[in-house]
C-alpha cells in the first residue's frame, strides 16, 4: 500500500496550497460549492490529502468533520492516495456474464494490485465499478475514462505502457 506523502504527490510543496486557494477563489469561497471544490481538488491530486482538507477548512470556514462527512458519503472521493492512472473494470451484470472476473485477473496479474489498491509508484489504481452503460462492449475496462472492450493480456501490456 502506497503511503506517499502530500509533497511527493505534487511537486513543489509551496504551490499545492496556492492551488487550493485558487480553486476556492474560483468559487468565491462559497460553502455551497463544496462538492465542486472537493472534486476539483481531487482532480488536481487524484485523492483528498489531509493537508488539503485542513486548508479547505480554513478557506471555507467549514468544520473538518463536515468535510469528512461529505468526503466519506460520496463514492467518487478518495481519502487514500490514488495513482495517476485510474483503471476501472466493469462488474455489472452483463460484463460479469461476459467474464469480467477473468479480465480483472488479467489486470491483477499485470499490475500486482487488487481492486481498491494503488501501485507503490502511484502510477496505477484499480477499481471495480457497477454498470458503465455500454454492455454490448462487455467486459469493459476503462483507463482514465477511455473505454476498451475485452482487451487481451498483450493489449493490456501495451495500453499500460502508454500510461505515464
Interface residue with another protein, options 22, 31, 66, 105 (CB under 8 A)? 66
Which stretches does DSSP call E strand in the chain? Answer: 85-90, 124-129, 140-143, 146-149
Dihedral sign, Cα of residue 97, residue 102, residue 103, residue 104: positive
Stretch that binds another protein, among 67-75, 103-111, 127-135, 137-145 (CB under 8 A): 67-75
Q: Does 32 bind another protein (CB under 8 A)?
A: no
11 binds another protein per the rule CB under 8 A? no
Give dist(CA 103, CA 98) in Å, integer: 10
The residue (of 37 and 67) whose beta carbon lies closer to another protein is: 67
Residue 7 sits in the site that holds another protein (CB under 8 A): no
**Which residues partner with 88 through β-bridges?**
127, 142
Crossing angle of helices 50-60 and 64-73, in 10° steps, is 120
Position among 7, 25, 64, 97 found at the interface with another protein (CB under 8 A): 64
User: Which residues contribute to the site for another protein (CB under 8 A)?
Assistant: 50, 57, 63-66, 68-69, 72-73, 77-80
Amino acid at each position: 500500500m502506497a503511503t506517499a506523502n502530500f509533497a511527493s504527490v505534487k511537486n513543489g510543496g509551496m504551490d499545492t496550497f496556492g492551488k487550493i486557494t485558487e480553486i476556492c477563489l474560483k468559487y468565491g469561497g462559497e460553502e455551497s460549492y463544496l462538492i465542486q471544490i472537493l472534486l476539483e481538488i481531487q482532480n488536481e491530486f487524484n485523492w483528498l490529502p489531509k493537508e488539503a482538507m485542513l486548508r479547505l477548512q480554513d478557506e471555507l470556514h467549514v468544520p473538518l468533520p463536515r468535510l469528512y462527512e461529505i468526503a466519506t458519503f460520496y463514492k467518487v472521493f478518495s481519502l487514500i492516495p490514488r495513482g495517476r492512472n485510474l483503471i476501472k473494470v466493469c462488474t455489472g451484470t452483463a460484463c460479469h456474464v461476459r467474464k469480467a472476473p477473468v479480465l480483472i485477473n488479467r489486470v491483477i496479474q499485470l499490475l500486482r494490485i487488487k481492486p481498491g489498491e494503488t501501485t507503490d509508484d502511484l502510477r496505477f489504481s484499480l477499481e471495480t465499478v457497477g454498470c458503465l452503460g455500454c454492455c454490448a462492449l462487455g467486459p469493459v475496462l476503462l483507463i482514465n475514462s477511455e473505454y476498451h472492450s475485452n482487451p487481451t493480456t498483450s493489449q493490456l501490456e501495451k495500453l499500460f505502457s502508454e500510461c505515464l
